Amino acid sequence: MKNTQDDFLRRFIFDKADVRGEYVSLRATWETIQERRNYPPHVRSAIGEMTAAAALISATLKFEGTLELQFKGTGAIQLMVVEVRNRKTLRATAKWSKDAGTNDQTTIFESGILAVTIKPDSDANTFQGIVETDNKSIAQALESYMEKSEQIATRFWLESNNQRVVGIFLQKLPGGATSEEDWTRITALAETVTQRELLSLECTDLLFRLFNEETVRVFDKEKLSFECTCSDQKISSMLLSMGREEVWSILKERSSVDVTCEFCGKEYLFSEQGITKLFASSVESNTN
């Protein structure tokens, strides 16, 4: 049994400065994500950073819903998707080309698009914003996205190795007379963090190491864990959207339609009988 105790988001604020922060650390959840795919090291570190970033951004949502970060690239990494639901559960996956193992991180991101999608559970509209990665790191791409779309100065520090994903984010609060000064001073302190410190220190030790000259108030941990939202119903509607012709051409080649969830590896098997029933019931519901 994996220990999910250590997977959490943790909000912190500066009592005497107009800056707020969020911290994330994932171990068991990260282990589960890595079990699904044999990620080459560079892909693994990219999807690790994106997982940390998605968790941190989801913590800023003030309503129930899903936050999705999706990267589509023309380089070695073709696709990365991280989805966080209600700040509590997440899932992630990636697709890459064969040369991903040899490329360095910068060429992996040389051209691509990073989309931030927020889907509220209520009837409120889905929001989507897009930023070009343009040789930037995930942190830099998201910082310029937040600056443009939300007009809020934001900084990310994201790290991962094969055991752990860690991230910090700082956001400048609007208002206060000293907010610009606060922001400069506190981001300069955060800037001194090393990769080793992020990956080896625990939350409060890390915050003390960085901000011991400030008054930091740390809130309770909010647990995060891996959970996939795939279901029979979702796979069925995906098959329906592919259309009768395409699904039947798969059936002709094999005796069944076999769909594997990209996120959790669960297999969904549809027999010819099942497919016939599925399309028949969709005709029924369309004519109703």
Q: Phi/psi zone of residue 77: left (φ > 0), alpha (ψ -120 to 50 degrees), beta? A: beta
158 near Zn ion, judged by CB under 5 A: no
Closest approach of Zn ion to the CB of residue 84, in Å? 15
90 near Zn ion, judged by CB under 5 A: no
Window of 78-86, 141-149, 192-200, 260-268 that interacts with Zn ion by CB under 5 A: 260-268
Residue-wise burial string across 19-56, b where 16 or more C-beta atoms lie within 10 A, e elsewhere: bebbbbbbbbbbebbbebbebbebbbbbbbbbbbbbbb
33 near Zn ion, judged by CB under 5 A: no
Burial status of residue 126 (CB atoms within 10 A of its CB: 0-12, 13-18, 19 or more): exposed
264 near Zn ion, judged by CB under 5 A: yes
Task: Pick between residue 52 and residue 228 the one whose CB is nearest to Zn ion.
Answer: 228
17 near Zn ion, judged by CB under 5 A: no
Choosing from 203, 207, 261, 275, the residue that interacts with Zn ion (CB under 5 A) is 261
Closest approach of Zn ion to the CB of residue 36, in Å? 9
61 near Zn ion, judged by CB under 5 A: no
Length of the chain in terms of residues written: 288
Window of 96-104, 144-152, 167-175, 227-235 that interacts with Zn ion by CB under 5 A: 227-235
Helices (H), the chain: 28-35, 41-58, 105-108, 138-149, 179-190, 195-200, 203-211, 232-242, 244-253, 272-287
Window of 61-69, 166-174, 187-195, 264-272 that interacts with Zn ion by CB under 5 A: 264-272
211 near Zn ion, judged by CB under 5 A: no
Choosing from 54, 166, 206, 230, the residue that interacts with Zn ion (CB under 5 A) is 230
Pairing of strands 225-226, 89-96: parallel
**Two tokens, residue 281:** 């019931």
Burial status of residue 97 (CB atoms within 10 A of its CB: 0-12, 13-18, 19 or more): middle
Phi and psi at residue 7, in whole multiples of 5°? -105, 110
235 near Zn ion, judged by CB under 5 A: no
153 near Zn ion, judged by CB under 5 A: no
Closest approach of Zn ion to the CB of residue 231, in Å? 8
Choosing from 183, 263, 268, 270, the residue that interacts with Zn ion (CB under 5 A) is 263
- Tell me if 153 sits within 8 A of 183, measured CB to CB: yes
Closest approach of Zn ion to the CB of residue 51, in Å? 16
- Rounded-to-integer distance, Cα 231 and Cα 81, Å: 18
Task: Pick between residue 266 and residue 277 the one whose CB is nearest to Zn ion.
Answer: 266
Task: Pick between residue 122 and residue 233 the one whose CB is nearest to Zn ion.
Answer: 233
Binding site for Zn ion (CB under 5 A): 228, 230, 261, 263-264, 266
